């Protein structure tokens, strides 16, 4: 029955992706639609497709086996991909203004260095993508062979056909929105599997300290890396950290609506990538402690045999890893189709429409990738081999072009040939070290050497589009000046006046909540947990109840006591110690009881809503410290255990999680509210100015009418008198 449910889940997942992909691809009319999708994607969709594309199914299996066998060195090296994305967002994307909107990396290289460079770039990029597609298709077969026991050929053909169909007909919009589904799928599945293994780990009596004692995961073990292992670690870390402007990377940047959106998306993606990588690495880290005698390639089968017996878990793991594989494969297919149907077509002058040729090549490429997947077993070797045919050939000239270096077509072609020869020589000589970094270095040295020795045209001509950099520089300068001015003009009293509520009912409702919170705390705190320091608890209870009653009675305070400044300052102080300090204290006293833990989280959110996200986060951090100090005084201890899995560690995790939630949800809303209030204040000022001008105009009109009446009567009197004289005569 469990097997049937798992199969149903997987088929439903495939069908959902197919329907969504084809639905969003209906509007594809041109090659630009097929490649960039109109460049009107939201930042969230852009982040999802970036993360989903570069969190691959093959990386999941490789991380499981390599973390189990190599330990911390591989985790550190592979996590450097996040640093590479961060470098891309900070230094590279802001300099790509002139390339935004280009359909492919081949188009850019062709514009700079001619059709021959464009053709080589397209072919190299396609070779890289083909290796990536085949690896992801291989993951489908590995999954079904492990989980279901059916021949991998059927799984590869089934899942790959779905990906090929919506990638071929849907274009980048289909790829992007299916990536969103796939991102949330594996984003849910991976933590679920990690938690299941963690619970099993704890039930066996293991601790994280014991696991860290393993030399593979001990920081001291890094110093023992020598010889081949040290060089391999450095080269692998450099490979991951190097900011790659590959065909898919370039497409994800170019499809953004602006440099600002692309930069923001890549910076967010860098944080998500390292988080996902650490979650995946956490799984073999625990498995190594529980079962240290496995072969690295047996880690996956061990997970299946021991942690997928619960209903739905196997199906979730299947679709989670499948999502990682599909989200990468569809991106590689789309990118390759554009390179062939646009760049190679233009160079070779193929007499077929761009869109038709792209779709035809997408389908043929998918079939070829299926063939490769059925005939290859080494995932990591395939990935690295495919990458070695792009980065050492195209990576350096393109990256230098982004930073403003230009040279001639001859220089670039010779440098590309040097990089390619280095890769081939490395393979022929059978050198086991990763050749990509060395080949890229050779490419760069030959490029610079030929350019300057033979005095080629160009050089460091600079970036053509400085608009974003100039705008960013001005914005940073403005923000620094505003920060300095705010610090110089800051007044705590004025700040409290501005943030405190004006309505008396707000004080009353807060006091009532304090009373309810106090009674809830008394109810949830069991006497056996109080211990000998009951006096401390009693004093805290008294402070809580007195504070609640006094604040609740604020509307009937005597006017002489209702001094505005005192109340506004007290508003922030009572929120600080009642909602944060005491919440931390009692959640520790109650050993993270369910009710008290819920109140702890609720109080942090309420404090932030009432004081604003900036002050709320600051209060939470400082209040957390004071709450722990109060607990240490109460418990009579000097140190608190913050090891992974301990209640104290959980509390820190909750504070960080709450802070992240506040930044994601409350920050934009409160900033919008503040901006709205500023606009209202500005408009109110302008309305008052216009009213004053109207009053002045009314007064002027009155004076004008009075003067007109006076001036009118004077001549009319003379005329009337003369008329009377004439009548009498």
CATH code, 444: 1.20.1730.10
Average per-residue pLDDT for the chain: 82
pLDDT tens digits for 489-515?
767 677 777 777 877 788 888 889 999
Are 67 and 202 members of one domain?
yes
Residue 701: what are its φ and ψ, rounded to 5°?
Answer: -60, -40
Cα dihedral 549/552/558/564 (nearest 10): 120
721 domain residue, yes or no: no
Give 370 or 447, the one with higher predicted confidence.
447
Q: Are 158 and 18 in contact (CB under 8 A)?
A: no
**25-34, 110-119, 199-208, 529-538: range with lowest mean pLDDT:** 529-538
Which among 27, 72, 348, 295 has a CA at the least distance from the CA of 169? 27
**Separation of alpha carbons 519 and 544, rounded Å:** 9
Q: Is the same domain home to 265 and 414?
A: yes
- CA-based nearest residue to 604, from 525, 661, 671: 661
Higher pLDDT, 709 or 87: 87
CA angle 417-420-422, nearest 5°?
A: 110
Checking 212-221 for CB contacts under 8 A at 24+ apart, the result is: 214/71, 214/288, 214/289, 214/292, 215/71, 216/70, 216/71, 216/72, 216/288, 217/71, 217/72, 217/285, 217/288, 218/72, 219/72, 221/71, 221/72, 221/73
Residues 449 and 511 in one domain: no
- For residue 266, give the DSSP letter: H
DSSP states along 505-557: HHHHHHHHHHHHHHHHHHHHS-HHHHTT-HHHHHHHHHHHHHHHHHHHTGGGS
Q: What is the pLDDT of residue 378?
A: 55
Domain presence at residue 22:
yes
User: Does any domain span residue 117?
Assistant: yes
What's residue 647's pLDDT?
Answer: 61
Question: How many domains, the chain?
Answer: 2
**What pLDDT, on a 0 to 100 scale, did the predictor assign at position 601?**
80
Of the chain, the end-to-end C-alpha distance in Å amounts to 128
Residue 535 lies in a domain: yes
| C-alpha to C-alpha distance for 83 and 384, rounded to whole angstroms | 19
pLDDT at 103: 92
- Residue 559: inside a domain: yes
At 41, give phi and psi (nearest 5°): -80, 150
Residue 109 predicted with pLDDT over 90: yes
What pLDDT is recorded for position 341? Answer: 93
Q: Report the pLDDT averaged over residues 381-399.
A: 80
pLDDT band at 643 (very low <50, low <70, confident <90, very high): low
For the entire predicted model, the pTM comes to 0.78
Angle at CA of residue 322, ends 162 and 266, nearest 5°: 100
Question: Are residues 310 and 235 both part of a single domain?
Answer: yes
Q: Could you tell me if 522 and 589 lie in one domain?
A: yes
pLDDT over threshold 50, residue 371: yes
Could you say which of 688, 705, 722 is where a domain stops? 688
Whether residue 525 sits in one domain with residue 452? no
440 and 507 share a domain? Answer: no
CA-CA distance, 287 to 719, in Å (whole number)? 115
Q: Is the pLDDT of residue 14 over 90?
A: no
For residue 456, pLDDT over 90 is answered with yes
Task: Identify the residue with better confidence: 451 or 431.
Answer: 451
Report yes or no on 703 lying in a domain. Answer: no
Percent of the chain exceeding pLDDT 70 equals 84
pLDDT at residue number 675: 64
C-alpha 118/C-alpha 345 separation (Å) is 11
Residue 722 has pLDDT above 70, yes or no: no
57 and 148 share one domain: yes
Range of 556's domain? 499-688
Q: What's the pLDDT score for residue 1? A: 39
What integer is the mean pLDDT of 614-641? 81
Q: Are residues 36 and 160 in the same domain?
A: yes
661 and 614 part of one domain: yes
Q: In sequence order, which ranges of 308-435 are alpha helices (DSSP H)?
A: 313-338, 345-348, 354-375, 379-387, 396-402, 409-429
| Predicted confidence (pLDDT) at residue 408 exceeds the cutoff of 90 | yes
Q: Is 708 within a domain?
A: no
- Which whole number is the average pLDDT over 545-558? 86
* pLDDT value of residue 715: 63
Cα separation, 218 vs 240, in Å, equals 22
Note whether 394 and 512 are same-domain residues: no
Q: Do 66 and 192 belong to one domain?
A: yes
Q: Is the pLDDT of residue 3 over 70?
A: no
Residue 716 domain-assigned (yes or no): no
Model pLDDT, residue 716:
59
């Amino acid at each position: 029955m469990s097997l049937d449910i798992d199969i149903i889940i997987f088929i439903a997942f495939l069908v959902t992706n197919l329907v969504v992909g084809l639905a969003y691809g209906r509007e594809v009319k041109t090659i630009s639609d097929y490649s960039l999708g109109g460049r009107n994607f939201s930042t969230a969709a852009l982040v999802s497709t970036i993360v989903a594309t570069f969190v691959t199914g093959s990386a999941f299996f490789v991380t499981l086996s390599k973390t189990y066998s190599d330990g911390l060195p591989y985790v550190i090296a592979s996590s450097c991909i996040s640093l590479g994305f961060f470098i891309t967002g900070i230094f590279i994307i802001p300099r790509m203004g002139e390339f935004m909107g280009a359909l492919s990396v081949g188009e850019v290289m062709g514009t700079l260095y001619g059709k021959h460079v464009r053709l080589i770039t397209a072919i190299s990029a396609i070779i890289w993508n083909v290796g990536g597609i085949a690896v992801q298709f291989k993951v489908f077969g590995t999954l079904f062979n492990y989980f279901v026991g059916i021949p991998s050929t059927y799984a590869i053909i089934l899942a790959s056909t779905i990906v090929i169909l919506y990638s071929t007909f849907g274009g980048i919009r289909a790829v992007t929105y299916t990536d969103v589904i796939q991102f949330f799928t594996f984003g849910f599945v991976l933590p679920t599997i990690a938690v299941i293994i963690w619970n099993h780990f704890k039930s066996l009596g293991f601790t994280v300290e014991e696991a860290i004692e393993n030399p593979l995961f001990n920081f001291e073990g890094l110093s023992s890396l020598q010889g081949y292992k040290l060089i391999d670690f450095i080269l692998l870390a450099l490979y991951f950290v190097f900011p790659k402007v590959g065909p898919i990377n370039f497409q994800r940047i170019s499809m953004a609506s602006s440099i600002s959106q692309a930069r923001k998306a890549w910076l967010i993606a860098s944080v998500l990538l390292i988080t996902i990588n650490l979650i995946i690495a956490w799984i073999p880290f625990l498995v190594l402690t529980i079962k240290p005698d496995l072969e690295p390639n047996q880690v996956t089968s061990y997970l299946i045999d021991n942690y997928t017996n619960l209903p739905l878990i196997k199906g979730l793991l299947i679709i989670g890893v499948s999502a990682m594989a599909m989200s990468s494969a569809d991106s590689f297919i789309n990118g390759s189709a554009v390179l062939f149907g646009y760049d190679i077509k233009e160079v070779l002058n193929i007499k077929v429409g761009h869109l038709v040729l792209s779709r035809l090549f997408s389908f043929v490429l998918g079939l070829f990738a299926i063939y490769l997947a059925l005939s290859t077993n080494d995932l990591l070797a395939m990935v690295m081999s495919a990458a070695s045919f792009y980065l050492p050939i195209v990576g350096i000239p393109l990256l230098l072009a982004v930073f403003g270096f230009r040279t001639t077509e001859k220089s670039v072609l010779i440098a590309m040939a040097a990089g390619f020869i280095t890769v081939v020589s490395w393979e022929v000589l059978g050198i086991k070290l990763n050749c990509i970094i060395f080949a890229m270095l050779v490419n760069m040295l030959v490029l610079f050497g030929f350019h300057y020795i033979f005095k080629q045209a160009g050089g460091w001509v600079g970036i053509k589009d400085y608009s974003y950099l100039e705008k960013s520089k001005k914005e940073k300068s403005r923000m620094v000046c505003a920060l300095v001015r705010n610090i110089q003009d800051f007044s705590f009293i004025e700040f409290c006046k501005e943030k405190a509520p004006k309505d008396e009912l707000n004080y009353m409702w807060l006091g009532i909540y304090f009373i309810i919170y106090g009674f809830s705390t008394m109810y949830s705190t069991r006497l056996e947990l109080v211990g000998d320091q009951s006096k401390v608890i009693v004093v805290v209870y008294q402070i809580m109840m007195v504070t609640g009653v006094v604040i609740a009675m604020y509307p009937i305070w005597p006017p002489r006591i209702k001094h505005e400044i005192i109340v506004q300052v007290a508003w922030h102080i009572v929120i600080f110690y009642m909602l944060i300090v005491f919440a931390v204290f009692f959640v520790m006293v109650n050993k993270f009881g369910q009710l008290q833990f819920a109140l702890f989280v609720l109080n942090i959110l309420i404090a932030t809503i009432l004081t604003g996200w900036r002050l709320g986060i600051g209060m939470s951090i400082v209040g957390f410290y004071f709450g722990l100090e109060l607990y240490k005084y109460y418990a009579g201890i000097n140190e608190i255990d913050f090891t992974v899995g301990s209640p104290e560690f959980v509390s820190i995790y909750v504070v960080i999680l709450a802070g992240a939630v506040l930044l994601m949800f409350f920050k934009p809303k409160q900033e919008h509210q503040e901006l709205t209030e500023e606009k209202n204040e500005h408009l109110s000022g302008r309305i008052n100015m216009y009213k004053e001008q109207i009053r002045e105009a009314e007064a002027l009109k009155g004076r004008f009418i009075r003067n007109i009446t006076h001036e009118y009567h004077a001549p009319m009197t003379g005329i009337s008198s003369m008329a009377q004289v004439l009548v009498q005569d």
